[in-house]
Structure 1
Amino acid sequence: MKILFVAIPNHHFFQWVNQLEGAGHEVHWFDVTDGSDFVEKINWVHQIRGWKMRYDFPFRYLIKKRFPKIYSLLQKLNERKVASQFEKTVIQLQPDLVHCFEMNLSGIPILEVLNKYHDLPLVYSSWGSDLFSYAKLGLKREAVESFLSRTNFLITDCHRDFEIAKKHHFSGQYLGMFPGNGGISIPENVIKECKNRTCILIKGYDDQFGKALKVIEALELLDISVFKNIKIAVYSAEKSVVLKMKSSPFFNSLNWSYHSRDAFFENQKLLALMGESILHIGNSISDGMPNALLEAMGMGAFPIQSNPGGVTEEVIQNGVTGLLIENPMDSKEIAQHIETALRSSSLRENAQDYNIKFIETHYNRQQLRSKIVDLYPAIAPNK
């Protein structure tokens, strides 16, 4: 079978695609943003990139830096359209199906082409906030409904988004819930017992949807004695979060570190950090099912997580296997959750045992591989 994937360059997408390695399919990836060099971690995939610019003219980066307005005008003339290049790809490859990851960046830009080739099966995997907060991402309801009407097969990472899709004219076949990365591999040898954990781990996104600064403010509300013998680590940290912590007398008296959002942080190292963390805190006003949350639960870190649209209550039993942040903008609520979790070792121990087994049962990468591989022949059985 010839499968054409359409997606931005993204770690979770690469992990999904690698579930198909050795399954006998001819796999192509159309880099919809043309924003990546050749990706070695999926080197077995035919990668369609380098399509955007007509000419890589001399001094391009210098002009972009010093004369951004001139550069913008030049790029309007120099850049090829996504839709036209995608159509050329479809005509050349004649794929058996198209699998699109995320709607705003990957789906809507090629919708006009998909509508022309209406017999070409379309699989759509919803990601993050692309259904839950499509309006905040700049999409109109009409565009979303048009895309979902064209979608033949839907995959979501949570039940919430399936319900949203049905309310927006999706009437195709639902293939089920799968984590966006195709499953989680847990290195059990680096999972520490609850009593030996020493770290509070925080996801550091602070942007349109991520609200890590509220977590930092929450920590500052607690008595500094709570953090005796505890280190604090922030990963995927925004510059604003790092600047806040560096300028804070409170954090200057604590043991803390960060990994910048702009720098690559190997997933295995992140998992190891989760495996020694007392808490994992993720806070946002919009998200799908966070892969980082699932990984942290599988590594035994007690989850304190926001719950936009009821998404994380699908995997967390509030007050039993984790704590849900109902108001992600309320640092006092977050502080209360942190103090509750730190002061109750029995709560954390019971949650650790349950969560590790839960993730192993429902999100194990090896177990999910056969299910993911089997999706594609079912879509186009004669190919």
Structure 2
Amino acid sequence: MKILMVAIPNHHFFQWVNQLKDSGYEIYWLDANDDGVFSHRIPWVTQIKGWKQKWNYPFRQTVKKKFPKLYKAIQNYNQTSLASSLANSINTIKPDIIHCFEMQLTGFSILPVVEKNKIPFIYSSWGSDVYYYKKRGTTNADVTHFMNRVDVLISDCKRDVKILTNLGFNKKSFVFPGNGGLELNKHKIMPQNDRTLIIFKGYQYDSGEAIQIVKAIEVLPFKLIKDVEFHVYSADKEVEAYIKKSKVFKALSYVIHPRHQRLQNEALLQLMGKSIIHLGNNLSDGMPNSLLEAMGMGAFPIQSNPGGATAEVIQNGVNGFLIENPLDFTAISKLIEIALSDLCLRKKAQDYNIRFIENNYKRATLQPEIIQLYKDTIL
């Protein structure tokens, strides 16, 4: 079986694809961004790169930097579209399945091509792809038009399946984590008594609201946090700048892991295994892989709940706390204070969450189901 995947270079995409390494499938990846660089994350996959520039003329980067208007005019003639590249790839590869990751970034661009054939078409929705589509200027008609061509939907949460079902989608659908499943090292999970960190995601761009977390920490009783080391990962520049100007954080121990210097997943998991609390706060999201990873590593989760997605895995007050208003840092602060003050709650949550992730999101368990999904698509 030949599977042609269309996606941007993304950590979760690479993790998903690597599940298929020994499946016997021939996997091809059309890089929707075309950075031109071979990815060593999936070396066994046939990678379609270098398609975007018709002619990589001398001093192209210099022209781009110093003469942006001229560069834009040249690119109108010099750039191949993603749709054209997909059409060429289909003619060459003759795939049995096309699998598109994300609607906004790739799906709409390739729709005119996939509408011209009957090749089984799988679509994976991630994060804010479905829940936030109106905020990104996409209409119900746009989504319905796209979903009419989709044969199989894979979503990272039940919420998005329901949204698309309400818009008329009535074909096969599956709910899997965006990366396909978790592989966690239990030896890196520390008891709650020995944990000394608080970790949170630093997204502020688009729908992220990490600055509200920083504000929530600033109003906590200082005696609760004076011995805590804070780690903010995937931190956008606005978040980094805010923390560095904060008078409260000047008196605290903290480490910033900038978004552009991606923290390796293994290192992130190790930090989660040492963290008392993991916080994530967004106006929109799907089922965050980071949340599932933090739960599996025993960090007490405090997470925003856009559209009820997070409530699919967190029972509020039992195995974590739900942030109902991402813009209310005072309420977020109260949740952090309660969690820090209640060791018994955190211990029970840690035991519950480790079992929950093991039973529902273990990669070794989900992998055969995902491999079978592709086989069933062409039956």
Question: TM above 0.5, one fold?
Answer: yes
Letter in 2 for 1:146: H
Which secondary structure state, in structure 1, belongs to the residue aligned with residue 215 of structure 2?
helix
Deviation at 1:36, TM superposition (A): 5.0
Which secondary structure state, in structure 2, belongs to the residue aligned with residue 116 of structure 1?
coil
Write the distance in 2 (CA, Å) between the matches of 1:126 and 1:264.
22
Q: Which moved more, 1:285-294 or 1:26-35?
A: 26-35
- Aligned residues: percent identity? 49
2:343 counterpart residue number? 345
Alignment of 1:294-305 (within 5 A): 294-305=292-303
Deviation at 1:153, TM superposition (A): 0.7
2:22 counterpart residue number? 22
Q: Is the 8 A contact 1:194 1:278 kept in 2?
A: yes
Q: Deviations over 1:146-201 (max 9, x none)?
A: 11011011111111001011122212212x21000010001111100000000010
1:111 counterpart residue number? 111
Letter in 1 for 2:42: I
Unpaired segments ≥5 residues, structure 2: none
Deviation at 1:209, TM superposition (A): 0.4
The TM-score with structure 1 as length reference comes to: 0.97
Write the distance in 2 (CA, Å) between the matches of 1:109 and 1:100.
11
2:69 counterpart residue number? 69
Deviation at 1:141, TM superposition (A): 2.0
Letter in 2 for 1:164: I
The TM-score with structure 2 as length reference comes to: 0.98
Q: Is the 8 A contact 1:214 1:328 kept in 2?
A: yes
Write the distance in 2 (CA, Å) between the matches of 1:114 and 1:128.
23
Letter in 1 for 2:37: D
Q: Deviations over 1:107-153 (max 9, x none)?
A: 11000011100x21011111111111112223222221111011011
| Structure 1 residue ranges (4+ consecutive) displaced by more than 6 angstroms after TM superposition | none
1:324 counterpart residue number? 322
Q: Is the 8 A contact 1:149 1:171 kept in 2?
A: no
2:370 to 358, 368, 372: 372
Alignment of 1:257-276 (within 5 A): 257-276=255-274
Q: Is the 8 A contact 1:130 1:137 kept in 2?
A: no
Which secondary structure state, in structure 1, belongs to the residue aligned with residue 256 of structure 2?
strand
Which secondary structure state, in structure 2, belongs to the residue aligned with residue 303 of structure 1?
strand
Unpaired segments ≥5 residues, structure 1: none
Write the distance in 1 (CA, Å) between the matches of 2:282 and 2:25.
37
1:161 counterpart residue number? 160
Write the distance in 2 (CA, Å) between the matches of 1:8 and 1:136.
21
Q: Deviations over 1:335-365 (max 9, x none)?
A: 0111010000011000000000000110001
Alignment of 1:122-201 (within 5 A): 122-174=121-173, 176-201=174-199
Which secondary structure state, in structure 2, belongs to the residue aligned with residue 256 of structure 1?
strand
Pairwise CA RMSD = 0.9
Write the distance in 1 (CA, Å) between the matches of 2:172 and 2:36.
32
Write the distance in 2 (CA, Å) between the matches of 1:89 and 1:2.
12
Write the distance in 2 (CA, Å) between the matches of 1:29 and 1:169.
30
Which secondary structure state, in structure 1, belongs to the residue aligned with residue 58 of structure 2?
coil
Deviation at 1:287, TM superposition (A): 0.4
Write the distance in 1 (CA, Å) between the matches of 2:12 and 2:116.
29
Size of the alignment, in residue pairs?
A: 379
